[in-house]
Amino acid sequence: MSIIQKATEVAAKLMPDKQVDPLIDGPGEAGSAVGQAVSRLDGPIKVAGEARFAAEVAIEGLTYAALVCSTIPRGRVVSIDADEARSAPGVILVMTHENAPEMASPPQMFTDPHGATTSDLPIMQNAEIHWNGEPVALVLGETQEQADYGASLIGVEYEQNDADLDFEAMFSGAEAPDAILGEPASVSMGHAEDALGEAAHVVDEVYTTPRLYHAAIEPHAATIVWNGAGDLLVHDSLQTIADAKSAYAKVFGLKEKNVRVLSPFVGGGFGSKYVWSHQLLAIAAAKLAERPVRIVLSREEVFRVTGGRTLTKQRVALGAKADGTLASLIHTGTTAMTRYNEFPEQFTFSTRHMYAAAALFIAQEVVRLDMVANTSMRAPGEAVGTFALESALDELAIAMAVDPIELRRRMEPERDPTKDTPFSSRNLLQAYEDGATRFGWKGRDSSSESRRDGEWLIGQGVASAYYPYYRMPGCAARIELTVDGRAVVQSSVHEMGMGTATVQAQHAADRLGLPIDLVTFQYGDSDLPAGTIAGGSSQSATVIGAVMAAHEALLKKLLKLVGSGSALKGAKHDEVMSRNGGLCRIDAPDQCESYVSLLEGAGEKSIAAEASGSMPLEIMKYSMHSYGAQFCEARVNSITGEVRISRWLGSFDTGRILNPKTAASQFRGAIVMGLGLALTEEALFDKRTGRFMNPSLAEYHVPVHLDVPEIDVIWTDIPDPLSPMGVHGIGEIGVTGVGAAVANAVHDACGVRIRNLPITLDKVLAGLSAQT
Residues labelled as active-site residues: 732
Q: Does 413 bind ligand MOS (CB under 6 A)?
A: no
Listed in order, strand segments (DSSP E) in 398-503 are 452-453, 456-468, 476-482, 487-490
Q: Which is nearer to ligand MOS, 75 or 536 (CB)?
A: 536
Q: Does 350 bind ligand MOS (CB under 6 A)?
A: no
Q: Which of 141, 413, 535, 545 binds ligand MOS (CB under 6 A)?
A: 535
Least distance to ligand MOS, CB of residue 372, Å: 16
Least distance to ligand MOS, CB of residue 616, Å: 16
Q: How far is CA 550 from the centre of its chain?
A: 26
Least distance to ligand MOS, CB of residue 536, Å: 4
Q: Does 133 bind ligand MOS (CB under 6 A)?
A: no
Helix 241-251 with 277-289: angle, nearest 10 deg: 50
Q: Does 210 bind ligand MOS (CB under 6 A)?
A: no
Judged by CB under 6 A, the stretch of 48-56, 373-381, 445-453, 547-555 that binds ligand MOS is 373-381
Least distance to ligand MOS, CB of residue 729, Å: 9
Least distance to ligand MOS, CB of residue 289, Å: 33
Q: Which is nearer to ligand MOS, 179 or 693 (CB)?
A: 179
Q: Does 536 bind ligand MOS (CB under 6 A)?
A: yes
R_g of the chain computed on alpha carbons: 27
Q: Which of 73, 106, 267, 271 binds ligand MOS (CB under 6 A)?
A: 271
Q: Does 461 bind ligand MOS (CB under 6 A)?
A: no
Q: Which candidate, 664, 630, 208, places its Cα nearest to that of 394?
A: 630
Q: Which is nearer to ligand MOS, 73 or 536 (CB)?
A: 536
Q: Which is nearer to ligand MOS, 124 or 377 (CB)?
A: 377
Least distance to ligand MOS, CB of residue 220, Å: 14
Helices (H) and strands (E) in the chain, counts: 19, 29
Q: Which residue is nearest to ligand MOS (CB)?
A: 271
Burial 608-638 (b: 16+ CB within 10 A, else e): bbbbbbbebebbebbbbbbbbbbbbbbbbbb
Q: Does 378 bind ligand MOS (CB under 6 A)?
A: yes
Cα–Cα dist 440/435, whole Å: 8
H or E stretch covering 706: none
Q: Which is nearer to ligand MOS, 223 or 346 (CB)?
A: 346
Q: Which is nearer to ligand MOS, 63 or 237 (CB)?
A: 237
Judged by CB under 6 A, the stretch of 189-197, 265-273, 412-420, 600-608 that binds ligand MOS is 265-273
Q: Which candidate, 15, 38, 16, places its Cα nearest to that of 658?
A: 38
Q: Which is nearer to ligand MOS, 346 or 364 (CB)?
A: 346
Contact 568, 576 (CB under 8 A): yes
Q: Does 319 bind ligand MOS (CB under 6 A)?
A: no
Q: Does 733 bind ligand MOS (CB under 6 A)?
A: no
Which residues share a beta bridge with 465? 628
Q: Which of 395, 434, 712, 732 binds ligand MOS (CB under 6 A)?
A: 732
Judged by CB under 6 A, the stretch of 190-198, 374-382, 575-583, 717-725 that binds ligand MOS is 374-382
Least distance to ligand MOS, CB of residue 447, Å: 42
For 12, other C-beta atoms within 10 Å of its C-beta total: 12
Q: Does 96 bind ligand MOS (CB under 6 A)?
A: no
Q: Which is nearer to ligand MOS, 270 or 349 (CB)?
A: 270
- Give the pairing type, strands 592-594 and 643-653: unpaired
Least distance to ligand MOS, CB of residue 494, Å: 10
Q: Does 345 bind ligand MOS (CB under 6 A)?
A: no
Cα–Cα dist 387/379, whole Å: 12
Q: Does 468 bind ligand MOS (CB under 6 A)?
A: no
Q: Does 541 bind ligand MOS (CB under 6 A)?
A: no
Can you list the alpha helix ranges (DSSP code H) found in 186-234? Answer: 192-198
Contact 556, 573 (CB under 8 A): yes
Using CB under 6 A as the binding rule, the residues of this chain from 217 to 246 that contact ligand MOS are 239
Q: How far is CA 568 from CA 561, 587, 591, 595, in A?
A: 10, 11, 7, 12
Helix 738-750 with 761-771: angle, nearest 10 deg: 30
Least distance to ligand MOS, CB of residue 307, Å: 12
Contact 232, 248 (CB under 8 A): yes
Q: How far is CA 261 from the centre of its chain?
A: 21
3-state DSSP assignment of residue 715 = strand
Judged by CB under 6 A, the stretch of 29-37, 264-272, 284-292, 620-628 that binds ligand MOS is 264-272
Q: Which is nearer to ligand MOS, 294 or 378 (CB)?
A: 378
Residues whose CB falls within 8 Å of the CB of residue 691, separated by 6 or more in sequence, listed in order: 71, 73, 132, 133, 304, 685
Interaction pattern, residues 168-187, with ligand MOS; x per rule: CB under 6 A: --------------------
Burial 425-452 (b: 16+ CB within 10 A, else e): bbbbeebbbbbbeebebbeeeeeeeebe
For 288, other C-beta atoms within 10 Å of its C-beta total: 17
Listed in order, strand segments (DSSP E) in 241-289 are 259-262
Least distance to ligand MOS, CB of residue 364, Å: 18
Q: Which is nearer to ligand MOS, 267 or 380 (CB)?
A: 380
Q: Which is nearer to ligand MOS, 441 or 627 (CB)?
A: 627
Q: Which is nearer to ligand MOS, 239 or 425 (CB)?
A: 239
- Give the pairing type, strands 452-453 and 456-468: antiparallel
- Give the pairing type, strands 643-653 and 625-637: antiparallel
Cα–Cα dist 477/119, whole Å: 29
Q: How far is CA 638 from CA 232, 520, 635, 646, 764, in A?
A: 60, 55, 9, 16, 9
Judged by CB under 6 A, the stretch of 16-24, 263-271, 580-588, 662-670 that binds ligand MOS is 263-271
Cα–Cα dist 737/749, whole Å: 18
Least distance to ligand MOS, CB of residue 532, Å: 12
Cα–Cα dist 344/312, whole Å: 10
Can you list the alpha helix ranges (DSSP code H) found in 401-472? Answer: 404-410, 428-439
Contact 576, 564 (CB under 8 A): no
Q: How many residues bind ligand MOS (CB under 6 A)?
A: 11
Q: Does 669 bind ligand MOS (CB under 6 A)?
A: no
Interaction pattern, residues 480-519, with ligand MOS; x per rule: CB under 6 A: ----------------------------------------
Judged by CB under 6 A, the stretch of 66-74, 267-275, 553-561, 625-633 that binds ligand MOS is 267-275
Q: Does 344 bind ligand MOS (CB under 6 A)?
A: no
Cα–Cα dist 85/761, whole Å: 47
Judged by CB under 6 A, the stretch of 194-202, 258-266, 377-385, 605-613 that binds ligand MOS is 377-385
Cα–Cα dist 722/469, whole Å: 11
Q: Which of 135, 319, 380, 726 binds ligand MOS (CB under 6 A)?
A: 380
Judged by CB under 6 A, the stretch of 370-378, 392-400, 505-513, 521-529 that binds ligand MOS is 370-378
Rounded to the nearest 5 degrees, what angle is found at the Cα of 584, between the Cα atoms of 580 and 589? 95
Q: Which of 224, 293, 369, 377 binds ligand MOS (CB under 6 A)?
A: 377
Judged by CB under 6 A, the stretch of 90-98, 268-276, 340-348, 405-413 that binds ligand MOS is 268-276
Q: Does 376 bind ligand MOS (CB under 6 A)?
A: yes
| Interface residues toward ligand MOS, by CB under 6 A | 239, 269-271, 376-378, 380, 535-536, 732
